[in-house]
A and B are shown apart, each in its own frame.
Chain A
Amino acid sequence: MRYRGTERLEEVARIAEKLGYRIVGVEGLDKVQVLNGVTFIPRRTSSDINELVKTKRNVLRTYLIRSPEDLKSYPRLRKVAVIVSLSRAAFHALTPKYVERLAVLDLPVEVAIRDVYEAVKERRYLRGLDYLVSLARSGRLELIACSGASKYIELLHPKIIISTLIELGLDEVIALKAVTSAPAKVLRGLGYGIK
């Protein structure tokens, strides 16, 4: 979850538990908290590598891409960030070359389903997303799907996320992985014990 931390954590925990989430990444959180059986872990999203370097090792360090130029320093990026996230502008500006660069980066790419819905609402051509999906289908790129929620009411049920990914052209297994094992692998890498 890409929660910005503007609401009470108890409310988020109540909804997250209802939706079946076990771990939620929260921006601006200092330490790990467990509420209603949901673990909240600190998350830092930035498009400045130097800022990510300074963050603690157990923080979910996410590099936010705003334009293709942000990927130029990718050798350093791989050591610093654990996930790459696309801003809405970057999401709309995806080209084959851009997606290829993302694949070379060898980091999981986070796709917010709310961004997809917004793009549909604005009647945008989702060409870039097709490239992402085709690379994910061939196994060259690892996708992580999230709600992209900025308030708890925008959280999406995992079944809804998986179904949307299937409708976007992903196989069921890869869609399931994007919600379960791919994020779990990242968290295990950060030292969180996940079965």
Chain B
Amino acid sequence: MALSSAQLTALVCLSLAVALVAVVISTYLIVQQLNVMRRLKIISAALSSKALKRFIKSIEERSSKKIRRRYLVFEVLLHGEEVSSANTIDRVRLEDKIKDAFKELFGSLELSRSGISVVYFDHKEMKGVLRFKVSHRAKVLAALGYIKEINGTDAMIVPLGISGTLKKALAKLKKL
């Protein structure tokens, strides 16, 4: 069956219109997808932003009534032959040293908020347990690196592990 010229024109117009609609819809969908991707990027950037992390942390701190602490198991290493002077390092002196380093790096206010305390120190093994508030974890670790000498001897404090309870920290200490 042959089509008349008018019918042919109408058919072409119709197919053109359909193609145009398809192009418009696909363009719209692509743009939408790009928008979604952009939004996702913004959301992921916002989620990883430091400000938001701090905000979440502050909410967590405010909402939890209990002060969350961590117990860091550490070892004190002294330089070379000067190890014989190890016995002179006691718990109080070591705590003062750590507190001094923390204070110099982050100030008195942060120090008083950090709750730093050497709860256990074995001066023979040169190993101990340091208690601090969970929110000050990075600060405490940075302060440990700042310590270069103890009692005039070149020394370093090596973090061996962190646990949530003193019992577990002491168990870890005995295992090492």
A interface residue numbers (CB < 8 A to B): 11, 15, 18-19, 113, 117, 120-121, 151, 153-157, 159-164, 166-167, 169, 171, 173
Contacts and interface: CB of A to CB of B under 8 A. Distances in A.
Contact of A117 (B80, B137, B146): B146
Given A153-B79, A163-B138, A166-B138, A117 B158 contact: no
Contacts of A15: 77
Contact of A159 (B139, B154, B159): B159
Given A153-B156, A163-B138, 11 more contacts: A19-B158, A120-B104, A120-B146, A153-B78, A156-B145, A157-B144, A157-B159, A160-B141, A160-B145, A162-B141, A167-B106
A24 to B, nearest CB: 16
Interface string B60-93: 0000000000000000011110000000000000
B46 interface: no
A153 B105 contact: no
A171 B48 contact: yes
Contact of B155 (A117, A121, A153, A166): A153
A164 B145 contact: yes
A19 B105 CA distance: 23
Contact of A157 (B48, B105, B158): B158
A150 B30 CA distance: 57
Interface residues of B, number: 24
A154 B141 contact: no
Interface string B134-155: 0001111110111010000011
Contacts of A156: 145, 156
A49 to B, nearest CB: 33
Interface in B126-176: 137-142, 144-146, 148, 154-156, 158-159
A161 B145 contact: yes
Contacts of A171: 48, 50
A160 B104 contact: no
Nearest to B105: A120
B155 A167 contact: no
22 contacts: A18-B77, A19-B158, A113-B145, A120-B104, A121-B104, A153-B156, A154-B148, A155-B156, A157-B144, A157-B158, A157-B159, A159-B141, A160-B141, A163-B137, A163-B139, A163-B140, A164-B145, A166-B138, A167-B105, A167-B139, A171-B50, A173-B48
A153 B78 CA distance: 7
A12 to B, nearest CB: 12
A153 B137 CA distance: 23
Nearest to A15: B77
Given A117-B146, A120-B104, A160-B159, A153 B141 contact: no
A163 B142 contact: yes
A36 to B, nearest CB: 15
Contacts of B145: 113, 117, 156-157, 160-161, 163-164
B142 A167 contact: yes
Interface in B111-128: none
B162 to A, nearest CB: 9
Contacts of A163: 137-142, 145
Contacts of B158: 18-19, 157
Given A159-B159, A161-B145, A151 B154 contact: yes
